[in-house]
DNA sequence: TGTACATCAGTGAACGCGCGTTCACTGATGTAC
DNA sequence: TGTACATCAGTGAACGCGCGTTCACTGATGTAC
């Protein structure tokens, strides 16, 4: 056991976060007990209080950590989408890779987004709305989208974020080590995003680019 | 207390389901206790076992009931979508109305879809996949879509179901009695579905209808 | 460098509580004759 | 229609268990002089 007292304390704190995420593999946060976390870390239950005032604060720390992870992914996906070529395909693969590498973070967000703890639902909802706003701003720089209203950009961003969320759900709901099932998920996700993008030039008939008729399918 | 013994038993069973859904307003199913349900119903905890072998079976009964409710909604939305005129708008409004009238069922599905109980996650996932399949079949009858592959129809159905699910999430995450916030949700949902549909005639350039260029926005 | 004191991460006993489940029971309803 | 017996929804006491939280503590690390 080396390191200063502060370093060792930080290490225990990290161990608590790791143990909690591991325990959350098959249970919701509401069903996670302080004692089970302490047991996994190898400390006595009362030592938990040296790091968090209660379980709710542990939950909030997990939200913070999980969204830090999500934002790393978004930054990577954004870079892929700005390079020329198959932007959608590369973005989707970035998402899938990150979901694999940080399964626990994404599962935590997915599960607690509508989970049993109101404080976590609120915090996660807030963060997701922020991400939608940021994507809406980004989208405003793409062809056809420069003249869209802020509202419509948000609408589109929301649609895309929802599509991405359902990819992450699909990815971590399949058992590990099924490359062909995963390839299918990736394929479907790409198609969905392509279909959405396909509608963009025809939105409200704004751009004068050939005047395809509005579909009769509505 | 009238009715036959069987009728009274059925009434208690219904009371248990009602009490459970009421308790699930602010908690996940994993955090729902047998004793709290019994307390609400007004029976002794042990009487619960006359109706369900354990809490898991109560959960499965709630899945069955909630999806019966969901299917009523789908049938209504399908009817709206076949009448001429603003099919999307009317379908969305049907969804929103049903979500209001059966808040508890929809919240249950939303929360337990990724919730802490594996058996419920599996059952709900199965039912949702079934619904996607049925919608895919339905969609195959619309203009432009007759010649889509089964895979692509499923992809589109999934996208639409996800969009609808996020409507229901949005609806029951807002406090009751906010007509203007709700109108905005409805508006956004309609736009999202319209945008998706707008891409349909241009998918893979299949139909020869004017040959709009593929968008550069990918 | 050495000593005296302060800090504080982790300990361990103890508490009261709500939980799921068991068991033998009660007494109203249902059925066979 | 009346009687004797069977069924079974609901009762109430009891159990052992894991939980969150309190408290006074220990002893290694850190700091002031």
Per-residue model confidence as pLDDT tens digits over B106-125: 999 999 999 999 999 999 99
Check residue B208 and give its pLDDT. Answer: 45
Q: B72: how many CB neighbours lie within 10 A of its CB?
A: 14
Average pLDDT score over residue span A58-79: 97
Mean pLDDT confidence for A125-135: 97
Higher pLDDT, A69 or A166: A69
**CA(B34)–C1'(C18) in Å?**
11
- Three-state DSSP at B176 gives coil
Residue A109 has pLDDT above 70, yes or no: yes
Decide if A28 and B28 are in contact by the 8 Å CB cutoff. yes
Number of DSSP helices (H) and strands (E) in chain A, helices first:
8, 0
- pLDDT, one tens digit per residue, over A30-46 is 999 999 999 999 999 99
- Measured to protein CB atoms, the chain C nucleotides within 7 Å are 8-14, 18-24, 29-30
Q: Which residues of chain B have pLDDT under 50?
A: 206-218
Q: What is the pLDDT of residue A177?
A: 81
Question: Which whole number is the average pLDDT over A48-75?
Answer: 98
Interval A100-125 mean pLDDT: 96
pLDDT at position B174 is: 82
Contacts of A31 in chain B (CB under 8 A): 28, 30-31, 116
Question: Is the per-residue pLDDT at A152 higher than 80?
Answer: yes
**pLDDT exceeds 50 at position A218:** no
Maximum alpha-carbon separation in chain A: 71
pTM of the model: 0.91
Residue closest to C11, CA→C1'?
A: A44
* Protein-to-nucleotide distance from the CA of A16 to the C1' of C12, whole angstroms: 20
What is the distance in angstroms between the Cα of B29 and the nearest Cα belonging to chain A? 8
Instruction: Report protein residues in contact with nucleic acid strand C, where contact means CB under 7 Å.
Output: A 5, 8-9, 12, 43-47, 50-51; B 1, 4-6, 33-36, 39, 45-46, 49, 54-55
Mean pLDDT along residues A123-151: 96
Rounded Cα distance between B93 and B196, Å, is 18
How many Cα atoms sit within 13 Å of B194 on the Cβ side?
20
Can you tell me whether residue B43 is helix, strand or coil? coil
- Return mean pLDDT, chain A: 92
Count Cβ atoms within 10 A of the Cβ of residue A12 and give its class: 0-12 exposed, 13-18 middle, 19 or more buried: middle
Interface of B with A in 40-69 (CB under 8 A): none
Spatial CB neighbours of A134, under 8 Å, sequence gap ≥ 6? A74
pLDDT score, position B173: 81
The whole-number average pLDDT for the span A183-197 is 96
Nearest amino-acid residue to D29, taking CA and C1':
A5
Q: How high is the pLDDT of residue B1?
A: 52
Residue window 133-172, chain A: list those with CB within 8 Å of chain B: 142-145, 152, 154-156, 158-159, 162-163, 166, 169
Tell me if chain A has a CB within 8 Å of the CB of B84: no
Answer whether residue A216 shows pLDDT above 90: no
Q: Could you give the maximum distance between any two Cα atoms of chain B, in Å? A: 71
CB contact under 8 A, B217 and A144: yes
């Amino acid at each position: 056991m080396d390191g200063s007292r502060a370093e060792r304390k930080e290490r225990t704190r990290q161990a608590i976060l790791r143990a909690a995420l591991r325990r959350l593999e098959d249970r919701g946060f509401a069903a996670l007990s302080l004692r089970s976390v302490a047991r996994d870390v190898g400390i006595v239950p009362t030592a938990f209080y040296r790091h968090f005032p209660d379980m709710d604060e542990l939950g909030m720390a997990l939200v913070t950590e999980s969204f830090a992870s999500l934002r790393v992914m978004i930054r990577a996906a954004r870079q892929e989408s700005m390079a020329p070529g198959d932007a959608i395909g590369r973005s989707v693969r970035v998402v899938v890779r990150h979901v694999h590498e940080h399964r626990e973070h994404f599962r935590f967000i997915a599960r607690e987004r509508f989970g049993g703890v109101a404080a976590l639902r609120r915090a996660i909802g807030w963060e997701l709305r922020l991400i939608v706003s940021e994507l809406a701003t980004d989208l405003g720089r793409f062809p056809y989208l420069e003249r869209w209203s802020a509202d419509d950009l948000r609408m589109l961003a929301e649609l895309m974020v929802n599509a991405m969320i359902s990819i992450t759900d699909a990815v971590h709901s399949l058992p590990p080590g099924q490359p062909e099932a995963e390839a299918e998920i990736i394929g479907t996700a790409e198609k969905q995003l392509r279909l959405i993008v396909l509608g963009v030039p025809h939105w409200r008939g704004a751009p004068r680019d050939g005047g395809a008729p509005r579909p009769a399918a509505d």
